[in-house]
Structure 1
Amino acid sequence: MSTFASRLFGAFVLAAVGCKTAASTTSTPPGETAAAGAPAARDAILAASALPPTHAALAGDPLAVSVHRLSNGMTVYISTDRQKPRFDAWIAVRAGSRSDPASSTGLAHYLEHMLFKGTDELGTLDHAAEAPHLARIEQLYRDLRATKDPAERQRIFAELDAANQKVAATAIPNEFDRVYAELGIFGVNAFTSFDQTVYIVDVPSNRFDVWADVEGERFSDPVFRLFTTEMEAVYEEKNLSLDNPWARTYFATTRNLFPRHPYGTQTTIGEIEHLKVPAYQDMVDYFGRWYVPNNMAIVLAGDIDAATALPKLEQALGKLEPRALDKLDPGSLQPIAARVQADVIAEGEQEVALAWQTTASDHADEPALTVMDWLMDNSTSGLLNVELELSQKVPSAGASSTFLHESGWFMTRAQLREGQTHAEVEALLLGVVAKLKRGEFTAEDVAAIVLNQDIADKRARESNSFRAHKMADAFVEGRAWQDVVARDRKIREVTRDDVVRVANKYLGANFSAVHRKAGKPEVAKIDKPALTPVELHPERHSQFAEAALKRPAKPIEPEWLVEGTHYVRAELPGGPLVAVQNGRNDLFSLTYRFERGHKRERMLCHALDVVEQSGAGELSAEALKKKLFALGTHVEFACGAHESAITVEGVDANMEQSLALVDRWLREVKIDPVVLRGIADNVISTRRDALEDPDELAGALADYAIHGKDSEYLQAPTNAQIVGAKPAALANLAREFVDYQHKTLYFGPRAAPEAAKVVALGKQHRKLPQRPPVAYRKVPKPTLYFTHRDVAKSTIAVALPSAALAREQRPAARMLSEYLGGGMNTLLFQEMRESRGLVYYAWGVLFAGSRPTDAWALRGGLGTQSDKTSEALKVFFELLGRPLDSVRLGSTRAAIEQEYRSSRVDPRASGWMVHAWDELGEKTDPRPWVWQTIGAMTQEQLQGFASSFAAVPPVVSLVGNRERVDLAGLKKIADVVEVAPASLFSYGSFPKGQPSVAAAR
């Protein structure tokens, strides 16, 4: 909903939603501890498992969800959508970090990692040969937990590493990923949170049977091989979370709100003291306790139906044995009695985050609390948006709600401007909360939220992943699907009085206050034991994998976009129109794209930012925002160095009215000098923060290293220009903005001729030359640009540039990108993370330029701990120069083949695809030619193409800690050029005020 919500979600993903790491398996067959016995005993187990009722699709359910049960108690949710020949398949387990033992946290998360490692048949050449070594590893981890002697711990770690290598002698480390990639099964991932662990894939319709068999094998006979290697990735993830101020704010909030409940007392990723001595046996026991069919659900959304799915699911996953579920320690959800404060010390921006405990997801107050959240922050006309953002009292503010199985919370936050105190900003937030509790909003505001909720739901239903997520949430939260459908109706019945009631009920004086303060963080760090890299052996195949890959399936024929069928072209007064008809609902989306950014008109982007916070004519900024929101219309201005755009989205019936408002907004913009000064103050304050924020610096340094003086960060207005901007000049930029040539992209229910009659924007339409070609910095020898920050992680970007290459090379670029870094089955990720535990992420992609005249570059990125930086970069370059492997290349070719056959361009994205082809000068969909060329390409041809980049001196950017990154080792790889933060931006000197720490260095 808000920037704040997305930031929180990002922190949550980093620290709680365990990325798909390596796989996992167990050495103890789960059935040995979970046998259900006689039918009567099984019936009793299922009756006590709080399983949701089954039923066919309900009347009035827009998702048409049916709920089924396998004989062993596993629940199956199905929502059919035939838009593309694929379906999302999620397997949800009602167990997450809330189910971790208090003395052994992190289990659910690293078990999630391990359930990609294979089974007794998948991921190994010889399970019998590895079994004694697995047993030895299990014992060694018990020994590790029994000693605190440092020397003994080192001895055990050394023996664990040796035993891990013995397992690796017969292991096939990434076979799970490889099999799925070659079958065309994409999006292989998983996540862990408080109440759930969920495994995710996106499956072609013709591969349903083999997917079911692999998942049946995965959850029946897992083997936890290569645990020692995978823990390295978990350590990496934990260290990154400790280095992330958003994650630390999130955890400080939950600790404050739930001091006596696992929601607050243990993090999903695990506590440091527990990760230092990982509980292998506890993990095995956790699997046996919670990964049972009466605690799991299969969720299918897309091109699949019950008649097809249920018989196969019964055969493949119905064999799992149910087990009586253990009772969880209830903890205490007693609300805190008073305000509780925690401080988070970090570089970059400062902020205040306030949070109150609310309710569980199935509580009767949840709909009203959700509307309350919208009233506080809908990114346009919420109380926080109006009271704090439009008034320029703070640079940004927002709110978010979280609802879990047992409880929830509501959070507000605001960023400090230079010179503000945390106490002042906390008072501002509490002042807005007080207005909410007094009911200083109208019934019309609530009605607008209902409309916008409807719009959001309609759009979300276009996505299989949304459908899957909603069904999985219902299972995890213990909600009958009838109640989910009823809840969606109830939210449309919420009144103003309901919101006032829940605001006063929950938003009292007992809340969490987390103050993010500027300073050097003292962040704990997990030191990892030495690890011998695991050989990956891509040439190995288990019999199970070979049989799965040879399973016959009727090929899916590819579908290409055809002009006149999938899209229509037309000419408007301002330039070309690409129109795509929306056959699903009554929503429209319009984007007007201009070849004009702040490099061509330096103050343009600032002018558009000011417009977004200003009114028009007699309409104040608040009135204008509310008017648009009441129409269900969202307007977004985007502006960069070379391009700018307006996007208008909403309900078709209100399109003309919405476009008239947008035109008026720009033509009659009313810029208040006092507001303008506040905007300038906030921009300057945010820029000060950027000079200290490691993530902001990483982006700016990468652009500087790769593009030199053409970096977009060096093209923005100076501080003096921002402060000196005049209302009349900015208003003039806004008024003439739409009177330049532009391209219009339309997606909506109207046919192209009808849409063309009303979507034209602007009058004079001055001509604009195309932007200059993209160019990369070229260096005579490897060069690394370095900026120091006091962080535990290193953020690395790499570019190996080339001049613009011919169109005929684009298929090779596609192939090489997929081979190097197209996913978790690819060379860089597997070799650097799965084999060596050097990085948390690694990727490499051939940037072929969006226009024929653009330079090309092989680009990549790494996220690693500081003490691994030199080694990680050395391995990265070694991998880029390594000869292409024929087995990996075959797997890559198979994955691309399946992608072209089974993927479909989302109609909502079709206009953008056509636009991208236009930029390249393609007259029709180029994918058939690319597909055919890749199919005929030889290894020698691709090797020659790849070698041309491997020979180029690389340009590298690195934001890290100079005390830890081994600068001496880096200087053996490349010339190191240290760059001060201020040199990365066009800001110039700052107005009077306290200078930032970085600027003063």
Structure 2
Amino acid sequence: MLDQTPPAPVPDIDPERAAILAASALPELLPVALPDDPLGVTIHRLSNGLTVYISPDTAAPRVTAWIAFRAGSRHDPPHSTGLAHYLEHMMFKGTARLGTLDGGAEAPHVAAIAELYDRLGAAVEPAARAAILADIDRATQACAALAIPNEVDRLYAQLGITDVNAFTSDDMTVYSADVPAARLATWAEIEADRLQQPVFRLFYPELEAVYEEKNMALDAPDDRLDEAMRLALFPGHPYGTQPTIGSAEHLKTPAYGEMVAYHRRNYLPNNAAILLAGDVDPATALPALERAFAGWRPAPLSAPAPGDLGGPRGRIVRELLADGEQSVTLAFRTVPIGHPDEPALRLLERVLGDEVGGMVAARLILPQRLPDAEVHGALMNEGGYLAFTGVARDGQSLADVERLLREVITAARDGAVAQDDLDAAVLHETLDAQGDLENGERRVEQMLEAYTGGRSWPAHVRRLDALRALGPADLARVARTYLGDDVVVVLRRRGRFAPPEIEKPRITPVAIDPARQSAYAREVLARPVDDPPAEQLLPDRDYVRKDMSCGPLIAARNGRSELFSLILRYDLGTRRRPLLGHAAGLLARSGVRDGEQLLDAPALQRRLYALGTEIDVDVDADRTEITVSGIDRNMEASLALLDAWLAEPVFTDAVLADLVANTLSGRRDEEDDPDDLAAALRDWAAFGDASPFLTRPSDRQLRRARGPELVAELRALRDAAHVSLYFGPRPADLAAAALVLGQGRPVDPPPPLRYRSVAAPTIFFLHKDVAQARIDIVLPRPPQPVGERPRAELLGHVLGGDMSGMAFQEIREARGLAYHAGAHLDLGDRLGDDAALVGSLGTQCDKAGGALALMLDLLRTRELAPDRVAAARLALLREYASERISPRSRPGWVQSWADLGHLADPRLAAAETIRTVEPAALQAYLAEFAGAAPIVSVLGDRKRVDLDRLRALGEVHVVTPSALFSHAR
């Protein structure tokens, strides 16, 4: 039981500090959880004004720990957009005692770099700028002689702290981690130090990472569309004029001094909250947090520069050229968080835009009037918007798309939302709230929303009551009020976008010595701590296996709520049944006969939605999964509908014809979209004609397929043997009684995974006008014995263990060659699958050759640094010690182990192997993969990618999109 005794009082504070805190709009304290709060949240305050939210959950000996600041890109100086974001990057560089061998000796070099950036900001002439940049490079090298890159991440990994990350948005910056409960005090100590007194070392190479992130945004049409839409919605306010990633122009001259000032102005304890969810006791946690953060002094908060919240008047049109699909977005200004209309607008967004039961799905997607459409929006601290996006199929005008979107909007304004729609939407909001109980991150997200939005926790807890109080007239009123004539229309047309180029400085690589370690990190790692004993899932205690006539059942109990989740897993996919995916697409647009009643597709989805049920069918090359989730008491009714739906889907020839037309249109978009092309190129390079993209039916096969043929595919799926993975409140016996589906006809296992065979290094290049090249590397090997998996996991952690891995450190941190750089060993999902050493990169096109050469050298390194091996070993062992598999995930994990030949939880044995494997054995294991001829795929702009440089690394084959897809076969 939670100890609800209020913590010991903090020391009295002086009047000046009291006045500062009183003016800081701090959240109201809540020392004892509300009786109707399932999250059990309490709210506390440290002596310096730092707020602490705690949601206890003892399911695992870990704590989801976030620190949130009420400052984001909205608080950037208007002449230096993107500043809050690159400050977020720099906050991982360490302090005077972490990330350096000697903070005192390093300080003059850091100060010199700051002064040089001030001079760079005033320089205009190219020659003067080049000279200053050269001086910055030299000063960075002097700093690097003492620096320990990524020591923050490496230390956290060795402490068993995972998921270390951060994000910046308009009104907030958040630092996140998943912490072993036994190390919460140590985490707090490190965070307090780096948040108060960061040292912005190695700023110069980190800028390249920010440039790469900007390139990713430029290559992502959705990001550019969002930026254009926001600027038109908020033309005089930072929500529109200050994109979080920053403008290309401002990134050319980073404002180092402004960044330091931003930190001093906004990174204050009275502007921050610690958000904790998990195995945390306020009685012990709060004193530890007070000790760690007590030296962080509060200061008066300065209000951000005011923005003009005047919105669009009339119809404001913006056009966007991009590869891939064409679309129309209609965006309307709404209200800020806390406005009286907020609840009605939130519910309206769900009623209109829910993927299953929303009005857009019912009126536009299921009838196939549009191939895709969505409703999306945001409520921020000073304003909000609601947007509708519709995708055009080939031959469909954007004017027609806009007309269809406006039909739905007009219906909402005219009161088409019924009470049943509201009831179903509130039901699903309630189910989402129950789902929040299972997951520490979702708990923390709730606390984050309340804190950054300035909402009291009692009001947040009762937000569902505010939704239940709404009626159809309320939604019609807000639709009429906000979805009116003042609208931003963004037309996305197919065409070439020429991204702006950011002048890149020359960066001398920073030497990385994995043997370096600060005295502080050494001391922290030497502290005694009691790691919890590792746990193993046991049959009949943590899960139950049962045999059913349709196949095996693996069940785990949900002891928290009435929710269930059922995954029906079939070893059938498009490799052996090419039309199965097409049949699943038809199923989603079909109705069903329910007794004497005929339900068309929208009516069927409305029935399921009212039951609180969602059904999703996912087909890939070798597996099909049907996921059913919802309220357990409605499981039988939901499964009965699924059974009838699979056996006898109801559709017309027109429905099938529209499906084919929309599918073919989507395929044309796919052949033009950089993300889809990169994925297809990667799979084709790795697997050749066995690429999953080539298992799908051709355009000709789609046109020739008839309804009865597709219905036969669905019936065959229904009657095939499958694994049932159940998570819910029922005991396994009672669950099994309801879960028999189909005849259980035996299915042969899918063929094993086989990589392409090449005799020499081979590079497949595909041209695309992009700012960032996408590179994937495979060094294949024959299938590996089951016992090799722990060794592979350790080696993968050495090479690519997040930000502490060798690939990230050497490629991004040391040289600024890429934003994304990772590597791992993939031994396949089933016994008999080929294995591979895999690497991936996202880099500027003109750096593709150099980045690829370096990655290949790293993957074939002849000497693994013992310090890297030791650090990776410690990180994995501590992660194993406190890792707990949630009940919802247990059936899936148990089945994945069975696919690999494990009849029991293999993690304890894996940990022992990781504990004892010698570095020499690990090096020998790497050598087995390093001897393979690499297979490389490169998507990039041929005008900027040096193909001669690629040819020096392997035989280059230039491919075209048509080779990657089955469409024209």
TM-score range, shorter chain: over 0.9
Contact 2:48 2:270 in 1 (8 A): yes
Tell me the residue number matched to 2:914: 934
Moved over 3 A (4+): none
Please, which of 649, 667, 681 is the counterpart of residue 647 of structure 2?
667
Partner residue in 2 for 1:337: 313
1:951 counterpart residue number: 931
- Whether 1:65 and 2:64 are equivalent positions in the alignment is no
**Cα deviation 1:665-706 (Å, max 9, x = unaligned):** 112211211111111000000001111111111111111110
Trace 1:364-403 onto structure 2 (pairs within 5 A).
Answer: 364-403=340-379
Tell me which of 556, 559, 563 is aligned to 1:580. Answer: 556
2:700 to 703, 707, 720: 720
Determine the structure 1 residue equivalent to 2:5. Answer: none
The 1-side partners of 2:364 and 2:20 are apart by 54
Over aligned residues, Cα RMSD in angstroms? Answer: 1.2
How do 1:287-436 and structure 2 match up within 5 A? 287-436=263-412
How much has 1:441 moved relative to structure 2? 2.7
The within-5 A match list for 1:835-850 is: 835-850=814-829
Q: Aligned pair count?
A: 952
1:335 to partner: Cα distance: 2.4
**Match 1:544 to one of 506, 520, 535:** 520
- The residue number in structure 1 matching 2:60 is 84
CA deviation after TM superposition for structure 1 residue 334, in Å:
2.0
Please state how far the C-alpha of 1:954 moved relative to its aligned partner.
0.3
- 1:816 alignment counterpart: 795
Q: Does 1:43 align with 2:22?
A: no
> Within 5 A, what are the aligned runs for 1:274-673?
274-617=250-593, 618-673=598-653
In the alignment, is residue 707 of structure 1 matched against residue 687 of structure 2? Answer: yes
Partner-residue secondary structure (3-state), 1:194: coil
1:853 aligned onto 2:832: yes
Q: Give the aligned residue type for 1:954.
A: P
Letter in 1 for 2:754: A
User: What is the 5 A alignment of 1:142-291?
Assistant: 142-291=118-267
Instruction: Check if 1:922 corresponds to 2:910.
Output: no
- Counterpart AA for 2:661: D
Partner residue of 2:709? Answer: 729
CA distance in 2 between partners of 1:669 and 1:277 (Å): 60
The offset of 1:814, in angstroms, is 1.0
- Quote the offset at 1:661 in angstroms: 0.7
Gaps (5+ residues) in structure 1? 1-36, 990-1001
- Which amino acid letter does the alignment assign opposite residue 810 of structure 2? E
Q: State the distance in 2 between where 1:890 and 1:674 align.
A: 63
SS of residue paired to 1:669: coil
CA distance in 1, matches of 2:624, 2:246: 44
SS at match of 1:609: helix
1:897 counterpart = 2:877: yes
Deviation at 1:38, TM superposition (A): 8.5
Q: Deviations over 1:575-610 (max 9, x none)?
A: 111111111111111111111112212211111110
Summarize deviations over 1:490-523 as a string: whole Å, max 9, x none. Answer: 1222211111111111101111111111111111
C-alpha distance in structure 2 between counterparts of 1:687 and 1:969, whole Å: 33
Deviation of 1:130 after TM superposition, in Å, equals 1.4
Q: Do the aligned residues in 2 keep the contact of 1:370 with 1:401 (CA within 8 Å)? A: no
Q: Which of 50, 53, 69 is equivalent to 2:28?
A: 53
Letter in 1 for 2:621: A
User: Is the Cα–Cα contact under 8 Å of residues 426 and 464 in structure 2 kept in the other structure?
Assistant: no
CA-CA distance at 1:460 after TM superposition:
2.4
Is 2:614–2:629's contact at 8 Å kept on the other side of the alignment?
A: yes
- Is the contact made by 2:437 and 2:560 (CA closer than 8 Å) also made in structure 1? no
| Cα distance between partner residues in 2 of 1:984 and 1:232 | 32
Aligned residue in 2 for 1:11: none
Partner residue in 2 for 1:738:
718
If the length of structure 1 is used for normalisation, what is the TM-score? 0.94
| Conserved? CA contact 1:92–1:199, under 8 Å | yes
- CA deviation string 1:914-957 (max 9, x = no partner): 11111111111111111111111001111100011111100011
Q: What is the percentage of aligned positions where both structures have the same residue?
A: 45
Distance 1:561 1:327 in 2: 52
Q: Secondary structure at the match of 2:912?
A: helix
CA deviation profile, 1:130-174 (whole Å, cap 9, x unmatched): 111111111111111111100000000000000000011111111
Please name the residue that 2:767 is paired with: 788
- For 1:295, give the aligned amino acid: N
Please give the alpha-carbon distance, in whole angstroms, between the structure 1 residues aligned to 2:78 and 2:526: 46
Report the AA paired with residue 943 of structure 1. Q
Structure 1 SS opposite 2:774: strand
Return the offset for 1:476: 1.4
**Tell me, what secondary structure is at the counterpart of 2:802?**
coil
8 Å contact kept, 2:531–2:878 = no
| Counterparts of 1:311 and 1:585, CA distance in 2 | 33
Which amino acid in 1 is paired with 2:720?
Answer: Y
* Kept after mapping to 2: 8 A contact 1:671/1:731: no
Please report how far the alpha carbon of residue 486 of structure 1 lies from its aligned counterpart in structure 2 after TM superposition. Answer: 2.5
Give the distance between the partners of 2:669 and 2:465, measured in 1 at CA.
44
Decide whether the 8 Å contact of 2:162 with 2:179 is kept in 1: yes
Counterpart amino acid of 1:314? Answer: E
Partner amino acid, structure 2, of 1:457: A
* Distance of 2:646 and 2:785 partners within structure 1: 42
What are the within-5 Å matches in structure 2 for residues 769-808 of structure 1? Answer: 769-808=748-787
Contact 1:242/1:525 (CA < 8 Å) preserved in 2? no
Asked if the contact 1:182–1:894 (Cα under 8 Å) also holds between the matched residues in 2, the reply is yes
**Kept in 1: contact 2:613–2:638 (CA 8 A):** yes
* 1:5-44 matched pairs, under 5 angstroms: 39-44=14-19
Task: Give the secondary structure class of the aligned counterpart of 1:757.
Answer: helix
Hey, what's the Cα distance between the residues in 1 that align with 2:508 and 2:927?
29
Give the Cα–Cα distance (whole angstroms) in 1 for the partners of residues 750 and 35 of structure 2.
54
Pair 1:139-2:115 in alignment: yes
Question: 2:363 aligns to what SS in structure 1?
Answer: helix
What's 1:680 paired with?
660
Q: Distance in 1 between matches of 2:114 and 2:626?
A: 59
Deviations 1:369-400 (A, max 9, x none): 11111111211221111111111111101111
Q: How far apart in 1 are the matches of 2:831 and 2:422?
A: 50
Q: State the alpha-carbon separation in 2 of the partners of residues 491 and 830 from structure 1.
A: 48
What is the deviation of 1:223? 1.1
Query: Structure 1 CA distance, aligned partners of 2:910 and 2:715?
Result: 43
Q: Which amino acid in the other structure matches residue 865 of structure 1?
A: Q
**What is the rounded CA distance, in whole Å, between the counterparts of 1:512 and 1:948 in structure 2?**
58
Distance 2:601 2:831 in 1: 42
- Say which SS state the counterpart of residue 113 (structure 1) adopts: helix
C-alpha separation in 1, matches of 2:79 and 2:922: 52
Q: CA deviation at 1:886?
A: 0.3
Determine helix, strand or coil for the equivalent of 2:738: coil
Do 1:239 and 1:525's aligned partners in 2 also have CA atoms closer than 8 Å? Answer: no
TM-score (norm 2): 0.97
The equivalent of 1:827 in structure 2 is 806
Give the drift of 1:624.
0.7
Q: Distance in 2 between matches of 1:857 and 1:880?
A: 11
Q: In structure 1, how many angstroms separate the alpha carbons of the residues matched to 2:132 and 2:425? A: 59
In terms of mean alpha carbon deviation, does 530-539 or 775-784 score higher? 530-539
Q: Of 879, 892, 895, which residue of structure 1 is paired with 2:858? A: 879
Distance 2:710 2:829 in 1: 31
Aligned residue type for 1:326: S
Q: Displacement of 1:318 after TM fit?
A: 2.2
Q: Secondary structure at the match of 2:198?
A: coil
